[in-house]
Amino acid sequence: MNTLHNLARAAGIEIEWRDVYGRDHMVGDDSLRAVLAAIGFPAATPAQISESLGVLRNETERNILPLVTATVGERVTLSGAPGHFRLTLDSGAVLDGIARENAGGIELPAISEPGYHRLELGGHVTTIAVAPRRAFTLAQAAQGRKLWGLTLQLYALRRDGDGGIGDFAALEAFARHAAASGAAAIAISPVHALFSADPTRYSPYAPSSRAALNALHIAEDTAVTDQDGLINWAQAAPAKLAALRAAFNAGHDEAGLQSFRAQAGTGLMRHAIFEALAETFTRTGAATTDWRRWPAAYQDPDHQAVERFGAAYRRDVDFYLWLQWQASQGMAAAQRAARAAGAPIGLIADLAVGTDPAGSHSWSRQNEVLRGLEIGCPPDLINRAGQSWGITAFSPRGLRNSGFAAFIEMLRNALAHAGGVRIDHAMGLTRLWVIPYGMSSAEGAYLSMPSADLLRLVTLESQRHRAVILGEDLGTLPPGFGARLDEAGIAGLRVLWFERDGTGFARPASWTPAAAAMTSTHDLPTIAGWWRGRDIALRAALNMEGDDAATREAERAALWSAFQASGAATGPEPAIAETAAVADAAAAHIGLAACELALLPIEDALGLVEQPNLPGTTTEHPNWRRRLPGDAQTLFTNPDLTRRLATLKAARES
């Protein structure tokens, strides 16, 4: 019997995985040992394996965890000894009873009220998070209508004086116009906090913290503009922060700030301290923004040196906390504008799958994130070498032992000023492809997450906020994953490029109803770019694998045939340069989808050729830098956009 494999399985590591072609692979022993060591179970020797198995067994059999989850109307099972319990419900009601023994633990009677309830049992106190059976669904938001909306890269918006970066004031204007045009939702790129002291880190999907907001989206005018339609982050970010600092120093609502401080959670406070530390170390040249290279005392957020710094640099910490307050107000104003203009959902925030390991979330939540591992994906049809994303994510062991505090904090931050959230790489709720530092993505392994707990917490927070949940369910999915999302009321994404029926592109009437239909995503070609073969040219220039010209020619014919079959287009196939008719047809096509929501990317509404991001590149392609043609106030007078929105709206109402 292989004790290494036994330990790996017990720790939630899948020792085998199946690729997109249906081939099975065994994870190498070196990879298993590296992953095990990274999650706190050394396995270099038989003695270490034995000791780690004992530690794992003790954790599994511990009396009680800080938080356990359950579902409304179902009996609650947990570890512990039988006996008297007292349950104080969210509503204030108190229930007393007897916890009875069952196989492997104890059992409480079913709880009929969703919420976070306080359990007292055997001298222990824990929280029972009781979730509704389903999240707040698209069907509930739609109330019998077939909804539509737009997707938007927030940084790409324009406004006079915006300092070269799209901001919340521009989003407010855009949301108001979109809702007035009939849009039910505006799905935006992540607005997570980046690194104020390092403008080179500007990917919205590799943030410093998912429990704080991006201060660069605060509306504060500067004279900086974009260059050739591209954001110059190295110039625009410092100018925006300098203008914000000047506004803070010129006078601010101190009472309001202190009220915000009093309500701020652990994540926001520690993020503000992290930002002040990073600024100080960068300014003095003593270290970098990467906390792992700071002096040892400052690597621990609980160290007295950090406490002393916070007191000595209180004004700097207050500045970064003030930024969070201003960002929160800006996001809230945009959501209010959307709802006031008639959007039943309004903003759909985007929840990135992970964070930069050098950032504030990894610094402040060190026991709750994976260390020594990055996440990505195994080889698949699009990325045949696999991907390493250079980011980290929550540790399943850390989540359980901390009562899922950071996960709940992150969800509440995402839903605070939005009518929904898109969960990036939603299969991360079930398992993550983790790659030990120094190894290739093909040498990674799947690490199981506490999926039942995470899904319950998502559904609970969704219903508490009356917010829809979209789950990005693209790529190599775990078996039965789609059914689990559907059962939880989480809508998947149905992207035009991937909706096939074996002979070609599938009829939109056959697409999953409980989902959001889309023409494309930020990681894929736009309709116009795909039709012209722009993505093929980009990949060829960078020696990246992808479709060839002959394959694309056949695919164009198949796509136009699908448009004709759905009634989205008539007439002969347009020439390669004639992208306007194709973008028109694509808008109508997703509008005809059976999905309860259709989301049209603003790039496709405008017929743009370039895509926001090219996966597998950093500086080789201007990722996360492209700005839209025209400002947020005038975009909705663009004849191409107004025609496509009218087409989409008519298709949804047909």
pLDDT value for 62? 64
Count of beta carbons in the 10 Å neighbourhood of residue 505? 21
Domain annotation covers residue 46: yes
Q: How many CA atoms lie within 13 A of 35 on its CB side?
A: 34
Q: Are residues 56 and 78 in the same domain?
A: no
* Structure token digits, residue 227: 């260059």
Domain annotation covers residue 406: no
| Average pLDDT estimate for 541-555 | 91
Count of beta carbons in the 10 Å neighbourhood of residue 219? 21
Which range marks the domain in which residue 126 is found? 73-131
pLDDT value for 104? 72
Contacts of 430 (CB under 8 A, 6+ apart): 448, 449, 451, 478, 481, 484
Cα separation of 21 and 38, whole Å?
29
> pLDDT by residue (tens digit) across 264-311?
888 899 999 999 999 999 887 766 889 999 999 999 999 999 999 999
**Residue that is written with structure tokens 């004992």 in the block:** 54
Considering the chain, what is the average pLDDT of its residues? 94
CB 36 within 8 A of CB 396: no
Of all residues in the chain, what percent carry a pLDDT higher than 70? 99
Domain annotation covers residue 99: yes
Residue 1 has pLDDT above 60, yes or no: no
Which helix (H) or strand (E) covers residue 354, if one does?
Answer: none
CB 132 within 8 A of CB 72: yes
Domain annotation covers residue 516: no
> pLDDT by residue (tens digit) across 197-235?
999 999 999 999 999 999 999 999 999 999 899 999 999
> pLDDT by residue (tens digit) across 146-204?
999 999 999 999 999 999 999 999 999 999 999 999 999 999 999 999 999 999 999 99
* Structure token digits, residue 611: 């895509």
* Structure token digits, residue 289: 């923004």
Domain annotation covers residue 42: yes
Cα separation of 582 and 644, whole Å?
11
| Average pLDDT estimate for 6-35 | 92
Cα separation of 394 and 413, whole Å?
16
Domain annotation covers residue 36: yes
Count of beta carbons in the 10 Å neighbourhood of residue 303? 14
| Average pLDDT estimate for 597-616 | 96
Of all residues in the chain, what percent carry a pLDDT higher than 90? 86
> pLDDT by residue (tens digit) across 472-527?
998 777 888 999 999 999 999 999 999 999 889 999 999 999 999 999 999 999 99
pLDDT value for 287? 66
Contacts of 355 (CB under 8 A, 6+ apart): 192, 206, 207, 208, 209, 210, 361, 362, 369, 391, 392, 393
> pLDDT by residue (tens digit) across 51-86?
999 999 888 776 578 999 999 999 998 888 889 999
pLDDT value for 79? 84
Domain annotation covers residue 623: no
DSSP summary character for residue 230: B
Q: How many CA atoms lie within 13 A of 154 on its CB side?
A: 31
Own/partner contacts of 37-41, CB < 8 Å, gap of 24 or more, are 37/372, 38/370, 38/371, 38/372, 38/373, 38/434, 38/436, 39/11, 39/370, 39/373, 39/395, 39/396, 39/397, 39/447, 40/397, 41/7, 41/11
Give how many domains the chain has, as a whole number: 2
Contacts of 331 (CB under 8 A, 6+ apart): 168, 171, 191, 213, 347, 416, 417, 418
Helix (H, G, I), strand (E, B) or coil at 568: coil
Q: Are residues 82 and 46 in the same domain?
A: no
pLDDT value for 382? 64
Tell me, letter by letter, the H, E, C secondary structure of 609-650.
Answer: CCCCCCCCCCCCCCCCCECCCCCCCCHHHCHHHHHHHHHHHH
> pLDDT by residue (tens digit) across 352-392?
999 999 999 999 999 999 999 999 988 876 677 788 999 99
pLDDT value for 339? 98
Cα separation of 588 and 15, whole Å?
45
| Average pLDDT estimate for 239-250 | 96
Domain annotation covers residue 28: yes
Tell me whether strands 16-18 and 105-108 are parallel, antiparallel or unpaired.
unpaired
pLDDT value for 302? 95
